Amino acid sequence: MTRYEYAKDLYAKIGIDTEAAIEKLSALPISMHCWQGDDVVGFDSKEALSGGIQTTGNYPGKATTPEELMADIDKACSLIPGKKKLNLHASYAIFEGGEFADRDAIEPKHFAKWVEYAKERGMGIDFNPTFFSHPMVKDNLTLSSPDEEVRTFWVNHGKACLKIAQYFAEETGVPCVMNIWIPDGYKDIPADRFSPRARFKKSLDEILEVPYDKSKVYITLESKVFGIGLESYTVGSAEFSLSYVNYKGITPLMDNGHYHPTEVVSDKISSLLLFNEKIALHVTRGVRWDSDHVVIFDDETKEIAKEIVSNDALDRVFIATDYFDASINRVAAWVIGLRNVQKAMLNALLTPHAMLRDLQDSANTTKLLALQEELKTYPLADVWNEYCARCGVPVGESWFEEIEKYEAKVLSKR
């Protein structure tokens, strides 16, 4: 008997079909954020990263060209099991032959190379307008700016991006999630909290005037609690974002780094599922603040996965990663984080949710706690290794040898 067969029997005894779990996981797309590969720099301007987010560290070998970034994404994908979707930011537009278009004027053709890349790999593409790291971000404001020239520039950026999102969906045949996140806020106590939010609302209304196919593009709005240098007030707060989403029938996006440190996204998922057809997540790891550390196999990541699976919402939740660590090998950072998201999903798929729910409903909380704790030492690793092998990616820590080789051969030469 192999270790997998032994595990399969053990799980069968608690009513879990490991084959079905593996099958479901193989079909679940995880949207992989391109920006881990180059510290959120992009290709359209060499402006320093702004918007109250920060990459820290100076590990050698970051991608500085589209070719390098694509090669690094390929390397990472070869070590990550499961289905991936590519998540791009507008700042990753690829200009050729000396041509350039500013953010308010980008067009689908500036992303043709990415479409070609994704199609060759059978991947869908998600998209994000880039409302930061640009000279038209004035006084840390974009869509909520009182300066009409600034606000209009960013409205036009949003509109341009919506057209590009639809192009991605049409080209790849896979719906595109277009996520709107703006950094707008104030470092110190604002005199007027209302007007910036009113302007943000107006700007979003204007962007959404662009006709788009709702079966092809899902527009999401990501809230935030605060950014670095913007500690006292955030225009796109949780209340603003949820209310706006509700008013326009778009999709809410929760990033688990965007709440107060004792709030957890796992507890918010069920509420949003009750009132939204779809929801979206940025899976990250905040350490004391929205630090965007690499996702690990920790309790909250497992709990988020549990909420998706136990609420039978695998086809209602858009799962994307969002972190940026510049202090370690960036390809490894992708692999570690995405393998952990996958592992957390597998862990949730191997949990007997119906049985546990019955214990809750019959108020048998003693047995519930006992079982929840016993399940923690079930042989998840044996099913995980089987899943990796079937996906054709390295089993266990052997993937790291590939990182060492790639670093020696490619990254260290940059």
Residue in 38, 44, 322, 402 binding ligand RNT, rule: CB under 6 A = 322
In the complex with ligand RNT, which residue's Cβ is closer, 164 or 403?
164
How far apart, in whole angstroms, are the C-alpha atoms of residue 148 and residue 152? 6
Residue 30, H or E segment? strand 29-33
Q: Is 325 in the site for ligand RNT (CB under 6 A)?
A: no
Kindly write out the interface string for residues 335-374 of this chain, putting x where it contacts ligand RNT by CB under 6 A and - elsewhere: ----------------------------------------
CB of 234 to ligand RNT, least distance (A): 10
Instruction: Assess contact for 104 and 156: CB atoms under 8 A.
Output: yes
* 255 catalytically annotated: yes
Q: Which does 53 bind (CB under 5 to 8 A by kind): ligand RNT, Zn ion, none?
A: ligand RNT
Task: Work out whether the CA dihedral 87, 92, 96, 101 comes out positive or negative.
Answer: positive
Q: Is 224 in the site for ligand RNT (CB under 6 A)?
A: yes
Q: What is the DSSP letter of 266?
A: G
In the complex with ligand RNT, which residue's Cβ is closer, 116 or 239?
239
Q: Which does 128 bind (CB under 5 to 8 A by kind): ligand RNT, Zn ion, none?
A: ligand RNT
Helices (H), 259-329: 269-275, 299-310
Q: Cβ of 187: how many Cβ atoms within 10 Å?
A: 15
- 145: Cβ contacts below 8 Å, ≥ 6 apart: 138, 139, 151, 154, 184, 199
Instruction: Assess contact for 178 and 88: CB atoms under 8 A.
Output: no
Q: Is 87 in the site for ligand RNT (CB under 6 A)?
A: no
Q: Which does 117 bind (CB under 5 to 8 A by kind): Zn ion, ligand RNT, none?
A: none
Q: Which does 224 bind (CB under 5 to 8 A by kind): ligand RNT, Zn ion, none?
A: ligand RNT
* 299 catalytically annotated: no
Q: Kindly report the backbone phi and psi dihedral angles of residue 168, in degrees, each rounded to the nearest multiple of 5, phi listed first.
A: -60, -45
Q: Kindly report the backbone phi and psi dihedral angles of residue 325, in degrees, each rounded to the nearest multiple of 5, phi listed first.
A: -110, 120
Q: Which does 35 bind (CB under 5 to 8 A by kind): Zn ion, ligand RNT, none?
A: ligand RNT
Q: Is 255 in the site for Zn ion (CB under 5 A)?
A: yes
CB of 297 to ligand RNT, least distance (A): 21
* 258 catalytically annotated: yes
* 315 catalytically annotated: no
Q: Return the closest-CA partner of residue 287 out of 276, 278, 279, 296.
A: 296
Q: Cβ of 148: how many Cβ atoms within 10 Å?
A: 10
Burial of 311 (0-12, 13-18, 19+ CB in 10 A): middle
Considering the candidates 258, 268, 278, 302, report the single residue annotated as catalytic.
258
* 192 catalytically annotated: no
Residue in 184, 255, 325, 402 binding ligand RNT, rule: CB under 6 A = 255
Residue in 31, 36, 128, 203 binding ligand RNT, rule: CB under 6 A = 128
Q: Is 126 in the site for ligand RNT (CB under 6 A)?
A: no
* 292 catalytically annotated: yes
Structure tokens at 114: 């990415």
- The catalytic residue positions are 181, 222, 224, 255, 258, 282, 290, 292, 322
